[in-house]
Structure 1
Amino acid sequence: MNFLIVVATFFIMEGITWMVHKYIMHGFLWSLHRDHHDHSNEGHLERNDYFFAIFAVPTIALMYYGTVNNFNIYFYIAIGITLYGMSYFFVHDIFIHQRFRFLRDTQNPYLLAIRRAHKQHHKHTGKERGECFGFLWVPVKYFKMYFNKNKK
């Protein structure tokens, strides 16, 4: 049962991420997210990186509460959120934005579709008119680009 809680939480996080990205990061906290789109920050860290701490605090609280109460459901929810956060860091920061040079020349259609969808998202430098707010779920049209590329 605990494994199912972790897996369900991981997948539910995709919907939560979409909503937070669209309505909070591109909404009232745009001031923190803006430099991720316009690249106005010269250093390695962006104001956008504060979201890591913003999202980590409730997860740590869930993990703590779940641990001191005999590893209850909150602990396993926190594990699912943590695994999603780790996936997000790997795919978004390492793979897509190449903060570390890794998987630059992949031919994997899923990874290429994620990269293309994210490029579409960053095409808009303002907070309005955005698209592709999700993270691991990629609209089918981006898969079709790579699966149909070699067909005549």
Structure 2
Amino acid sequence: MNMLLYIAIALVTFCVMEGITWLTHKYVMHGFLWHLHEDHHKKGPGFVEKNDAFFVIFAIPSWLSIMLGSIYQVWWVVSIGAGVAMYGLAYFIVHEVIIHQRIKWFSRSNSRYIRAIRWAHKMHHKHLDKEEGESFGMLIVARKYWNKVKRDEQIAAQKT
């Protein structure tokens, strides 16, 4: 029974991370730590961005939760750390691999979800400064982007 509780804690943490990511992206990355995030919006030469520092910033509490929770056998803390780590993996796959394709594992997808998330992110990146941004989340896509993709599908179907 305890194992199911710990799995549930990890899954709830994973879900809560979307809200934490949204808030952090809007108010921290587009706020007082814009100097670390700016090169993500204004791409420069090279593979590595200052923005990649946020990977470490989010990884540290996850790692500490897993490590210290394991040392002191506080398994709900390990579960929280695991949920954050799972979100980090999902973020990496969605943001770095699927959206920006910094790592070329996938090139195209007909998935409506992938197209909607790419469109939302494109709208986020149309703003080159820290103000007037939109679409700060990562995994949850606003209805307007789903509708845009659906309209595009309908237009394409009418042309065939």
Choose the corresponding residue for 2:105, options 102, 124, 135: 102
The share of aligned pairs that are identical, in percent, is 44
Instruction: State the partner residue of 1:131.
Output: 134
Aligned twin of 1:57? 60
1:71 Cα deviation from its structure 2 partner = 4.5
1:67 and 2:70 aligned = yes
Q: How far does the alpha carbon of each residue in 1:87-136 deviate from its partner, in whole angstroms, 9 at most, with x for none?
A: 00001001100112233221100010000000000000000000000000
1:147 shift after superposition: 2.2
Offset of residue 56 of structure 1:
1.0
Q: Give the Cα–Cα distance (whole angstroms) in 1 for the partners of residues 91 and 63 of structure 2.
A: 17
Aligned length: 151
**What is the TM-score of this pair, normalised by structure 1?**
0.95
SS of residue in 2 equivalent to 1:148 = helix
Question: Which residue does 1:117 correspond to in 2?
Answer: 120
| Structure 1: unaligned runs, 5 residues or longer | none
AA aligned opposite 2:145: Y
The 5 Å alignment of 1:15-94 reads: 15-40=19-44, 42-94=45-97
TM-score, with structure 2 as normaliser: 0.90
Counterparts of 1:37 and 1:132, CA distance in 2: 14
CA RMSD, Structure 1 to Structure 2 (Å): 1.1
Quick one: distance in 2 between partners of 1:149 and 1:44? 32
- Match among 11, 14, 17 for residue 13 of structure 1: 17
C-alpha distance in structure 1 between counterparts of 2:41 and 2:75, whole Å: 39
